Each structure stands twice: as C-alpha cells, then as structure tokens.
C-alpha cells in the first residue's frame, strides 16, 4: 500500500502543506526539464539527496524504493550516450534521478489521506461547474494508489511461491491468479463503499 511508503516524522517537509509540496515539485521538475547545464543539474541531484535525507530516507532506503526506475534511467542514458553524445546521456543521468528523488521525498513525507484530500479540494471548482464530483475523484485516486502497490506485492508473492516449488516463473501462469484475487478484493471494496453510501451522496457545502 502507498501508506507503507510514508515515513512518519516532523521534518520541515512533513510540516509543509500537501498542495505546496506538489506545486514545488511541479516547479522544480519543470525547471530541471528546461535546464541542461551540467553543474546546475549536478547541484540539483545533490540537493535532492539532501532533501531525502532530511526526512529520514537513508541511501539504502532510497535505492530500494527507486531501483527499477533508476535502472531504466541508466539504460536510457546509455542509449543517448551511444546514439547522440556523452553529454546528452549525462544530462539524463543527472536530471531524471534528481526529479525522481524530489518526488520520492514528497511521497515519503505525505500520507495517502493527505494526497486524496488535496486532490479533492483542487477538484472542487470542477464540481461547482457540474463536471464531476470531487469526492468521487479523490476516492478513485485512493483506490488506484491502494491497488497498484498491492498488485505488485501479490505478483512477488506468487513468483516466490512458484520459485519455492521449482516451477518456472511464466507471466501467463501468474496472470490468472493475480487477476482473480484482485477482482475479488475490488468487489469487496465496492460492496463496502456502496454499503456506506459513499457513492451517490450529494456534496455538503
């Protein structure tokens, strides 16, 4: 679950409002996307590591959380070095991890409920225009964030079970049990939501 990514604490980033954190992340990401100065990008990468450490994320924890993305970035940087130039690859190798580490710090310092509340408030103008219900949008986000890590954990459990039995790990063998278990949980959650009358209620202003 996404809540497992949240690190309890009282750092300056924990105390910052969720909306301000997301806005700052957007501005920083946009700025780094437009910058290709290597010293500046190196400084941004160093700053992102400092920010991550300031909220209690050690290098090992940061690596464990971002390893798949970092490996993808390294591959992309290598391709750019070969096809374009070493400098282009180095820009990617500095820029993307910096953005990733800043985003990881925001995720680690913000609870799932805070993310949902922030999105719900941000969607209120759209609700007033009659385009959607802000609470439903927040609920949808919460369910997506809830299930994505859960599906990954279930995949790992099924994979480990196959390996323990000496069965070759094949994706088509895992998809069936993975889909069935996920749909069962989805049905249970949908029933619980309907039983509590969460969907279909009018917003209270």
Cβ(47)–Cβ(67) below 8 Å: no
Residues 23 and 85 in one domain: yes
Instruction: Look up the pTM and report it.
Output: 0.67
Residues 158 and 94 in one domain: no
Tell me the DSSP string of the chain.
-GGGG-----SHHHHS-HHHHHHHHHHHHHHHHH---HHHHHHHHHHHHHHHHHTT--HHHHHHHHHHHHHHHHHHHHHHHHHT-HHHHHHHHHHHHHHHHHHHHHHHTS-HHHHHHHHHHHTHHHHHTTS--HHHHHHHHHHHHHHHHHHHHHHHHHHHHHHHTT----HHHHHHHHHHHHHHHHHHHHHHHHHTT-TTPPPP-
Confidence (pLDDT) at 197: 53
pLDDT, tens digit only, all 205 positions of the chain: 444 566 777 788 888 888 899 899 999 999 999 998 999 999 999 999 999 998 888 888 888 888 888 888 999 999 999 988 999 999 999 999 999 999 888 888 888 778 778 777 877 776 677 766 666 666 666 666 556 666 666 777 777 777 787 777 676 666 677 677 666 665 555 555 555 454 544 444 4
The C-alpha atoms of residue 167 and residue 177 are separated, in whole angstroms, by 15
Confidence (pLDDT) at 102: 92
Domain that holds residue 34: 12-110
Residues 17 and 103 in one domain: yes
Residues 27 and 99 in one domain: yes
Residues 167 and 102 in one domain: no
Final residue in a domain of this structure, among 77, 110, 143: 110
26: in domain: yes
Number of domains in the chain: 2
Residues 78 and 30 in one domain: yes
Confidence (pLDDT) at 188: 58
């Amino acid at each position: 679950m996404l809540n497992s990514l949240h690190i309890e604490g009282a750092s300056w980033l924990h105390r910052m409002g969720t909306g301000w954190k997301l806005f700052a992340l957007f501005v920083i990401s946009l700025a780094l996307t437009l910058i290709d100065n290597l010293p500046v990008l190196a400084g941004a990468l160093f700053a992102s590591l400092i920010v991550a450490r300031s909220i209690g994320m050690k290098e090992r924890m940061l690596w464990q959380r971002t390893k798949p993305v970092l490996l993808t970035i390294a591959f992309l940087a290598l391709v750019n070095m070969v096809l374009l130039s070493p400098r282009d690859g180095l820009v990617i190798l500095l820029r993307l991890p910096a953005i990733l580490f800043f985003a990881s710090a925001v995720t680690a310092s913000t609870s799932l409920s805070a993310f949902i509340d922030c999105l719900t408030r941000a969607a209120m103008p759209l609700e007033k225009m009659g385009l959607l219900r802000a609470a439903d949008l927040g609920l949808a986000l919460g369910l997506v964030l809830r299930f994505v890590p859960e599906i990954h954990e279930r995949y790992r459990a099924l994979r480990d079970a196959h390996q323990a039995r000496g069965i070759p790990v094949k994706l088509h063998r895992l998809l069936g049990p993975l889909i069935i278990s996920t749909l069962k949980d989805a049905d249970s959650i949908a029933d619980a939501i309907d039983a509590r009358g969460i969907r279909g209620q009018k917003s209270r202003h």
